[in-house]
Amino acid sequence: MAKALRDKSPSSIASSRPRGKPVKTLRPLKKSARKGSRRILLTEAEIFEVFRRFHAASPEPKGELLYVNPYTLLVAVVLSAQATDAGVNKATPALFRLADSPEKMLALGEDKVRDLVKTIGLYRTKAKNVIALSQRLVDEFGGEVPGDRDVLETLPGVGRKTANVVMNIAFGHPTMAVDTHVFRVANRLALSQGTTPLAVEADLLRVVPPEYALHAHHWLILHGRYVCKARKPECWRCLVNDICLYPDKTPAP
């Protein structure tokens, strides 16, 4: 069985600051959109600098869900909908010890799966979806997780965000899985003005430099989880504070 992958501590992007001299004001590569007199989107050069710093601080960011293979990753992400990664990680080790393949999950049955994940919100619906998607994988894909986002989205309990996570982590595609953290950070940083997850995803796919695209959504998730928090962003320890266009920055305590 493959070793479970996780990042036990918050990513170092949470508190790292770039070393050396302060970064000078970057010359725009193209004119930014403006609203009145306030610029509302980062320039191409500034976007590059944002992700350069994220990469410098944490070159190989990891998702925080526990999993042992593409199938258990898929199940973990399905279980994480409207729940925290930490909460899911409390339930899944016992589940995955018993069932690390769709065949084993079906052998467990819905009642046993439901009992094992009952600490997770919406556990009844999620247990039903886990069994249903496992059945589909056995019946139509030989028990393997398909490496196609459109196909993944047809599985029970799998939406676009879940499919993007699986495509990124399991298959190495530079997808942008937009959760609440990515949505918030992308708008605050002025990487996007999207009002829906799909719009933010499209903007990120367009503006993130290709060399940083594979890990971009991990950096944004971790930054939102540990620094750019919803209620009180910790702007004083943000490594891109000087670039971010968010007007209501929180002062140091």
Catalytic residues: 161, 179
70-79 helix and 123-141 helix, angle to the nearest 10 degrees: 150
Tell the residue number behind the tokens 């819905």, with chain if given. Answer: 110
Contact 59, 211 (CB under 8 A): no
Q: Tell which phi-psi region holds residue 173, choosing left (phi > 0), alpha (psi between -120 and 50) or beta.
A: beta
Q: What is the DSSP string of 194-253?
A: -SSHHHHHHHHHHHS-GGGTTTHHHHHHHHHHHTS-SSS--GGG-TTTTT---SSPPPP-
Contact 13, 223 (CB under 8 A): yes
Tell the residue number behind the tokens 């556990």, with chain if given. Answer: 123
